[in-house]
Structure 1
Amino acid sequence: MLIVSSPEYIEKLHTELLDASTTRTVQAYFMWRLIRSYSDALAEDIRKPVQRLTAKLRGTNAKVTKPRWEICLDEVNASLGFMAGRYYVLDKFSGSSKKRADEFVQSIEEVFVDRLPELTWIDNVTRARAEEKVDNLMLKVGFPSAYPDVMSPVSLSDYYSELRMEPDSYFKNYLKSRTWDIVEQWRQVGKPPNKSKWLMNPQEVNAYYNPVFNEIVFPAGILQNPFFGNEYPDYLNYGGIGVVVGHELTHGFDNSGRHYDAEGRLVQWWTNETSKSFDEKAQCFVDQYSNFTVEGNNGRVVHVNGKLTLGENLADNGGLGEAYLAWKQRYDSDRQSKKYNNARLPGLDNLTPEQLFFVNFGRIWCSKSTKEQAVQSALTDEHSPPKWRVNGAVQNSKHFANVFQCPVGTAMNPAKKCELW
């Protein structure tokens, strides 16, 4: 079975683009894609023109490039990521980090399930199946323990046994690593899915939800400042990694992930009535985010694509609410025993723990980009611009409005709020 996630695109690619292009144009395009793919690993006479083009698109200075050590480190990560990940985990991911991260996930899963009966737009049949999907959710935290076991030199050696590197040819090693990776992927064709496989390296600052495995994955790399700190107060950690956990969990129930059931099968497990209610509520987010804009050069204003970004927006909004409720329940139940760390931070006595939860949520998406890059991202990225990932979510958050006492009808507390999960 071949899953085509965007059939309309494939159809239009054929009828509106390929049929209207000459064979020479198509060949030239493929040649350019080949050059673009390999340019970073080739000599300066090829690399420099591509860098100038990229700089023009992003509005940066073509003369400012990555230092050579960083380029080489990126290549190690791309070619021998699990091997490099072993040393990262040994140095940075120790102690109780994994145990605490597991606890965060469990608490947010519980909030998600406990809140389902409050969602009147979901009928009992769909609600029961949603609970089953959360119960079946597979959690991977830190690093893989199989295929390969990052903590086992023997397992790593077996995993990379057919990747033979040469000490004196950077480009040959570049090609070998790509070839090895493609061969490894083709070996999986026709076999049962290997659910122990990770799609990210342990050192990556990222996370993902995989619908066909119904799994959420948090590499060790994201379990660090500003997302997570083993000594951080809980209100910061829940405002950071807690929101990320809720985000990935909610992806299982966004406009795409909801089509996969508890076993990762692409089937219709929602009733027609609940599906219709979902679409109606999701449209609120499409309309809201489509009104957000970014500013380009010469006063150009580009709107966020509310349809393109819908899945990520639903995950951002759901993750924020789930993380806040999970932390607040823990915090309110712990006023006497002080089992959890919610110590106040020196110099921030003017902010409550509730407010600092949201402050850290804003902090994790702090970023800076050129106007060209902002426009390019708004046009192509399935994520909303960082500013709107934060402001869009808090506009819909009743908790945020209460904590900061935002008057109704203001930008941060509009009268109409979008809500799903």
Structure 2
Amino acid sequence: APLPLRQTVWYFNTCVAAQNNFGPITQGGTIVIQALQAFQQITGLPFPMLNQNQNQQNWPSANTIGTALGYLSGVAGVDTLLSPYVDTNWADPLGATPYFLYVDQNSLMYPKTYYQPGTWEQFQDGFINNIKATMTQLAGLTGKTLDPTTLTNDVMDIVKIELALARNLSTDDTTRRQFQRSYNPTSVSSAQASYPFMDWTAYFRQLSTNAPGSVPAMMNNPSFTFSVMETTKTLQLGNSFQMGNPYGFTPRQFVNYLMYRLVDSNSGFLPNFRDRRLQKKLYSPPMGKTRYIILPEPVDPEKFENKDLTSAQMECTQETLNSLSYTNARFFVDALYPDKGVNIRQAAGGLISGILSGFQSMLDQLPWMDDASKLSAYGKITSLVKNIAFPDFILDDAQLTAYYANLNIQQTDSYVTMLNKLSVFNMATQFGYLARTSGSDRTDFNGAPGIVNAWYQPELNSITFPAGILQPPFYHPQFPASVNFGGLGVVAGHELTHGYDDQGVQWDGVGKLSHWLDPSSQQGFQRLANCVINEYNGFCPLPGNYTPNCIKGSQTQGENIADNGGIHASWRAYKTHVALNGPDPRLPDPVLSQFTHDQLFFLSFGRVWCANESPAQLFRQLLVDPHSPYKYRVFGTIQNFPAFQSAFHCPSGSNYAPGPGKHCNVWVLDN
């Protein structure tokens, strides 16, 4: 087998052994202590929260700040006050500089939605107690005793910084849906003049530590061009960490905050903190930020029928999926597709092409979109790249080996050494895009082929259906068309609709930032969006003693519109398929034979979101999730769809046939 596949087996086996005997890895907190020491050595900063007899009287120099922030992101893999990532060059993705570095606003310990007033109050006690427990344990391991009052004050200062970063020093998600405002090319020397609070050369020197080949030299050139995404907030950030700042931040609080963020990111390697390590693992794709239709949930082995796998094996499978997504996929594809995926691509590809035609017919009939905008919309459909099952290169041993050439995992490496090498490799992969010179790769999956998910990437105008979702219950080549279109078809329609939502319309057919919707068509779309916002505001899955107990229509509008548009596109494609190929026979099953195929289409759609959510899960979702709770992803959608009412003969005026004027027409005239 090619070396990357052998390395994956070594990693998996080492991971399982580690999970089954995690004590020695966390003993003495060595990993956390070493990470702290390395950071302190390169920055020269103290950690007064841990060494209470130390202090930081003065603000660190611009050089120290640049070194600290660059090291945290580029070496330790922890984004803090700034968040760098590589994406396509939005203004010119097909040119000689097809990829670009974006330096975004802060990243916090939890997603931004957790810090909203009303939401924060639900999480703050756990947050505070977590920091206290982490620091108390770390102090014990380093032979220090912490004064409880000083510790409490330091913890509350970290909370103060997190809240200020979230609420005052971040731009809100709604404003950020306009991408043009975040594309602000600037050179390193210009950034130094505009944002002198840190030394940008020192920042890029650290940030490029793990970048491959010619990239560090490129990033360390004063004329290197990148985008400062949030110009105003970056200015405010600089003003916040100096004397006389509006938030009362002190140098002590600043250094404690950065040090603690490093501790927090490694806290899974403290004794007894293992569960937190599993919870906080986040998956970063190699480039940019993909949008997911289904939120990845923590793996619960009890949910799986296959009891042959231990929880350690489940966990380590998930780790190879996250860290070695293409070798993981090679094993998956070899086992699943003896024909190397030819049939599945052909079958699923036909279904997806049908969805595209269905969506185009919906665009044809929109009264509020003008002809020029429709032409641009068709252009996005005709030039859409469809990624199905897996990228071709993973089946080619030589190409797969070349992709992983810089991954130097040895069979004798320890688990922690392997984790570190993988982290370095995945950072290098991301920064490596900056060296490319001949147009963006629009066939880039940018995600793991083995996951049950699907995504649309506006900056590539591509839609991706990994092998993980091309199987039951979403899809099977032998399923009736009604079941496949109701399952995978609706997912495909949902993702395609993201290409035409308020974010998608800012990108053209090759993924260039280019607003092609004229103002009157834009107003038509906004009317549609407002209807959906108001409608979903009225869905209240929890009793009144919860605040909130209803869906936030504005927070979930993008996903709700995609759900509604997606089912319409898939329904049209299904009806076209039946017209061309004839209806499928009734299913030979005493229960299923009682349903028509139109009804099976909707039952298949409902099954995609079938879940039993506890009040606690629902509450968390209402507070922080851009998706509506599963129940309303189904019932909200069918309430707006007369075809459902016809299939199940709902009487007019009933819940799911509310009648004219009492539902939203999403992407369609009322059909």
TM-score by length of 1: 0.87
Quote how far apart the aligned CAs of 1:34 are: 3.2
**Structure 2 spans left out of the alignment, 5+ residues:** 1-88, 90-101, 106-169, 174-229, 282-297, 304-309
Given candidates 222, 227, 230, the residue that maps to 2:474 is 227
Q: Is the 8 A contact 1:377 1:385 kept in 2?
A: yes
The yes-or-no answer on 1:284 pairing with 2:511 is no
The yes-or-no answer on 1:171 pairing with 2:399 is no
Q: Is the 8 A contact 2:320 2:328 kept in 1?
A: yes
Identity over aligned pairs, percent: 31
Task: Write out per-residue CA displacement over residues 46-67 of structure 1, whole angstroms, 9 at most, x where no aligned residue.
Answer: 325667999xxxxx9x9x9982
Counterpart position of 1:85: 329
Letter in 2 for 1:170: Y
Counterpart position of 1:117: 364
Counterpart position of 2:46: none
Q: Is the 8 A contact 1:354 1:403 kept in 2?
A: yes
Q: Is the 8 A contact 1:235 1:342 kept in 2?
A: no
User: Partners of 2:278 and 2:376 in 1: how far apart?
Assistant: 50
Letter in 2 for 1:407: P
The yes-or-no answer on 1:186 pairing with 2:431 is yes
Quote how far apart the aligned CAs of 1:310 are: 1.3
Range with greater deviation from structure 2 (223-232 or 111-120): 111-120
Counterpart position of 2:571: 324
Aligned-pair Cα RMSD in Å = 3.0
Range with greater deviation from structure 2 (261-270 or 66-75): 66-75
Q: Residue 419 and residue 17 in structure 1: after superposition, are their counterparts in 2 closer, same or farther (change >3 A)?
A: farther
Q: Residue 379 and residue 301 in structure 1: after superposition, are their counterparts in 2 closer, same or farther (change >3 A)?
A: closer
Task: Write out per-residue CA displacement over residues 173-201 of structure 1, whole angstroms, 9 at most, x where no aligned residue.
Answer: 11221121112211212634232322112
Q: Give the match's secondary structure for 2:444.
A: coil
Quote how far apart the aligned CAs of 1:368 are: 2.7
Q: Is the 8 A contact 1:83 1:150 kept in 2?
A: yes
Range with greater deviation from structure 2 (45-54 or 230-239): 45-54
Given candidates 261, 272, 278, the residue that maps to 1:45 is 272
Counterpart position of 2:489: 242
Range with greater deviation from structure 2 (384-393 or 165-174): 165-174
Which protein has the larger Cα radius of gyration, Structure 1 or Structure 2? Answer: 2
Given candidates 614, 618, 622, the residue that maps to 1:374 is 618
Quote how far apart the aligned CAs of 1:382 are: 1.4
Given candidates 595, 598, 619, the residue that maps to 1:354 is 598
User: Partners of 1:255 and 1:196 in 2: how far apart?
Assistant: 24
Q: Is the 8 A contact 1:297 1:371 kept in 2?
A: no
Quote how far apart the aligned CAs of 1:296 are: 7.6
Task: Write out per-residue CA displacement over residues 21-66 of structure 1, whole angstroms, 9 at most, x where no aligned residue.
Answer: 63444544444443443344x2543325667999xxxxx9x9x998
Task: Write out per-residue CA displacement over residues 318-375 of structure 1, whole angstroms, 9 at most, x where no aligned residue.
Answer: 111111111122213433xx6xx55524122221110011001000111233322222
Counterpart position of 2:666: 420
Range with greater deviation from structure 2 (217-226 or 343-352): 343-352
Counterpart position of 1:344: 587
Q: Give the match's secondary structure for 2:549.
A: strand
Q: Residue 294 and residue 390 in structure 1: after superposition, are their counterparts in 2 closer, same or farther (change >3 A)?
A: same
Q: Residue 198 and residue 277 in structure 1: after superposition, are their counterparts in 2 closer, same or farther (change >3 A)?
A: same
Given candidates 403, 417, 421, the residue that maps to 2:647 is 403
User: Partners of 1:69 and 1:230 in 2: how far apart?
Assistant: 30
User: Partners of 2:275 and 2:331 in 1: how far apart?
Assistant: 33
Q: Give the match's secondary structure for 2:315.
A: helix
User: Partners of 1:352 and 1:368 in 2: how far apart?
Assistant: 26
Q: Give the match's secondary structure for 2:464.
A: strand
Q: Give the match's secondary structure for 1:307.
A: helix
User: Partners of 2:266 and 2:648 in 1: how far apart?
Assistant: 51
Quote how far apart the aligned CAs of 1:289 are: 1.3
Letter in 1 for 2:561: L
Counterpart position of 1:200: 447
Range with greater deviation from structure 2 (381-390 or 299-308): 299-308
User: Partners of 1:246 and 1:115 in 2: how far apart?
Assistant: 12
Counterpart position of 2:511: 264
Task: Write out per-residue CA displacement over residues 267-321 of structure 1, whole angstroms, 9 at most, x where no aligned residue.
Answer: 2211111111111111101111122223289655522221121111111111111
User: Partners of 1:418 and 1:33 in 2: how far apart?
Assistant: 45
Counterpart position of 1:252: 499
Q: Is the 8 A contact 1:296 1:375 kept in 2?
A: no
Q: Give the match's secondary structure for 2:533.
A: helix
Q: Give the match's secondary structure for 2:449.
A: coil
User: Partners of 2:585 and 2:247 in 1: how far apart?
Assistant: 63
Letter in 2 for 1:379: L
User: Partners of 2:338 and 2:637 in 1: how far apart?
Assistant: 33
**Structure 1 spans left out of the alignment, 5+ residues:** 55-59
Letter in 2 for 1:389: R
Range with greater deviation from structure 2 (281-290 or 166-175): 166-175
Q: Give the match's secondary structure for 1:217.
A: strand
User: Partners of 2:372 and 2:581 in 1: how far apart?
Assistant: 35
Counterpart position of 1:57: none
Q: Give the match's secondary structure for 2:618.
A: helix
Task: Write out per-residue CA displacement over residues 226-258 of structure 1, whole angstroms, 9 at most, x where no aligned residue.
Answer: 100121111100000010111111110012111
Q: Is the 8 A contact 1:162 1:180 kept in 2?
A: yes
The yes-or-no answer on 1:20 pairing with 2:247 is yes
Quote how far apart the aligned CAs of 1:123 are: 1.1
Q: Residue 36 and residue 47 in structure 1: after superposition, are their counterparts in 2 closer, same or farther (change >3 A)?
A: farther
Range with greater deviation from structure 2 (214-223 or 181-190): 181-190
User: Partners of 2:400 and 2:573 in 1: how far apart?
Assistant: 38
Q: Residue 395 and residue 94 in structure 1: after superposition, are their counterparts in 2 closer, same or farther (change >3 A)?
A: farther
Q: Give the match's secondary structure for 1:99.
A: helix
Q: Residue 303 and residue 20 in structure 1: after superposition, are their counterparts in 2 closer, same or farther (change >3 A)?
A: farther
Given candidates 499, 520, 528, the residue that maps to 1:273 is 520
Q: Is the 8 A contact 2:621 2:629 kept in 1?
A: yes
User: Partners of 1:274 and 1:94 in 2: how far apart?
Assistant: 48
Q: Residue 26 and residue 315 in structure 1: after superposition, are their counterparts in 2 closer, same or farther (change >3 A)?
A: farther
Q: How many residues in Structure 1 have an aligned counterpart in Structure 2?
A: 406
User: Partners of 1:94 and 1:380 in 2: how far apart?
Assistant: 42
User: Partners of 2:501 and 2:374 in 1: how far apart?
Assistant: 15
Q: Is the 8 A contact 1:255 1:310 kept in 2?
A: no
Given candidates 72, 76, 92, the residue that maps to 2:316 is 72
Q: Is the 8 A contact 2:536 2:553 kept in 1?
A: yes
Range with greater deviation from structure 2 (400-409 or 343-352): 343-352
The yes-or-no answer on 1:161 pairing with 2:405 is yes
Q: Give the match's secondary structure for 1:141.
A: strand
Q: Give the match's secondary structure for 1:150.
A: helix
Q: Residue 157 and residue 371 in structure 1: after superposition, are their counterparts in 2 closer, same or farther (change >3 A)?
A: same
